[in-house]
Amino acid sequence: MADKKATLSVHGANEPLELPILSGSEGSDVIDINSLAQHGLFTYDPGFVSTAACMSAITYIDGDKGVLLHRGYPIEQLAEHSDYLELCYLLLNGELPKRAEREAFVEVIKNHTMVHDQLRNLFSGFRRDAHPMAIMCGVVGALSAFYHDSLDIDDAEHRTITAHRLIAKMPTLAAMSYKYSIGQPFVYPRNDLDYAANFLHMMFATPCEEYEVNPVLAKAMDRIFLLHADHEQNASTSTVRLAGSTGANPFACIAAGIAALWGPAHGGANEAVLDMLGDIGDEKNIDKFIARAKDPNDTFRLMGFGHRVYKNYDPRAKVMQETCREVLDELGIEDPMLRIAQRLEKIALEDEYFIERRLYPNVDFYTGIILKAMGIPSTMFTVIFATGRTPGWITQWIEMIAGGYRIGRPRQLYTGVSRRDYVPLAKR
């Protein structure tokens, strides 16, 4: 794997250092710098712009071409022909399931959709106006206190059961966090419904009234989960891996991932997009907001635009745009926000600032509009992202634990004061 070498000449050193170059099955080669520390050298790469932190066989992104592959399969094909649970199976197992495997997997997930009844008590400790993401950080971490029968991270079966539990229980917890915030009783999962339909049922049914799930909306929800399922080493997944590298239990690691996802530069962007469209309010104000986004002295950014890896159209955004149209047509909604979004997209795509920096709409740009049309409040958007991303987080965690790992421990370039002696209080 490492026939190629890079040579590093260090000023003042006797000889240049030879560093192996590793090649993956796709994408750029990487220089293996692991041995640098033996020579008293470290690399400096804030934001991990040029650093591969692990090897992984799960997801591949070519940001220049706008390509996203899960276990080799393009996201567009998965979105068209597959569904969320099949993708969960694919991520976890590496291959698409045969019919019997698929049925067995769906059955297993259904058998884990309920949460321990004692968990209800945890919810009542939160304020009613708590952000659902704040609740999710707490209750997902708390799962480790409920399911300690599967916490041996060195046992492959335990890891699998935990993966199934997390995938199955996330929609239940997500819907509970919503129901709690609006003061309605929790709705139990219905295992005769499929994954996404069951989530909508738990969100919108009440004990007084049956909720008939609209199949177009259920399909759109499934697609939203599917499009978020994994995205290689993004900030939340890297957080899950870093937490996991200490040997921490998987529920705690996923809770850490949820916390990282919450930020507006990451999963919190879908909520921020809707807030931004609300702030713009009218097409006539778009130019003003574009000017603000371009102003280096203004911290405002066009939410739902730009990506660290994609320097082309986010392939998930394209699918999301189609789904958005399907949902709005089905519901007969003429959303003025969609008009603002479409106009904003057009203007930004033609603007020199955005073209130069290769800032394209990302997955979050359209998600918010679809979810809003479905009647889901914006505070739930990132919770839905977290639910969809769970199979990615847990598969990446399993890959790391099963494949051998060292504790993640970045180094630093110290810029503080050099050694000095303590000054007694009287002499300061």
Task: Provide the mask over 250-269, with x wherever binding to ligand CMC is found by CB under 6 A and - wherever it is not.
Answer: ---------------xxx-x
Q: How far is the CB of 78 from ligand CMC (least distance, A)?
A: 18
* Residue 228 appears among annotated catalytic residues: no
Query: Is the Cβ of residue 288 or residue 308 nearer to ligand CMC in the bound state?
Result: 308
Q: Which stretch binds ligand CMC (CB under 6 A): 71-79, 130-138, 303-311, 393-401?
A: 303-311
Q: Which residue is nearest to ligand CMC (CB)?
A: 306
The reply on whether position 305 binds ligand CMC by CB under 6 A is yes
The reply on whether position 308 binds ligand CMC by CB under 6 A is yes
Query: Is the Cβ of residue 40 or residue 47 nearer to ligand CMC in the bound state?
Result: 47
Site for ligand CMC in 333-362 (CB under 6 A): 357, 359, 362
Q: Are strands 17-22 and 4-8 parallel, antiparallel or unpaired?
A: antiparallel
Active-site option among 32, 112, 158, 266? 266
Q: 244 vs 39, 122, 152, 397, CA distance in Å?
A: 28, 25, 13, 7
Query: Is the Cβ of residue 195 or residue 366 nearer to ligand CMC in the bound state?
Result: 366
* Residue 266 appears among annotated catalytic residues: yes
The reply on whether position 292 binds ligand CMC by CB under 6 A is no
Among 135, 259, 293, 341, binds ligand CMC (CB under 6 A): 293
Query: Is the Cβ of residue 189 or residue 392 nearer to ligand CMC in the bound state?
Result: 392
Q: How far is the CB of 302 from ligand CMC (least distance, A)?
A: 4
Task: Provide the mask over 224-253, with x wherever binding to ligand CMC is found by CB under 6 A and - wherever it is not.
Answer: ----------x-------------------
Query: Is the Cβ of residue 256 or residue 269 nearer to ligand CMC in the bound state?
Result: 269
Query: Is the Cβ of residue 97 or residue 368 nearer to ligand CMC in the bound state?
Result: 368
Residues that bind ligand CMC (CB under 6 A): 47, 234, 265-267, 269, 293, 301-308, 357, 359, 362-364
Which residues are identified as catalytic?
Answer: 266, 307, 364
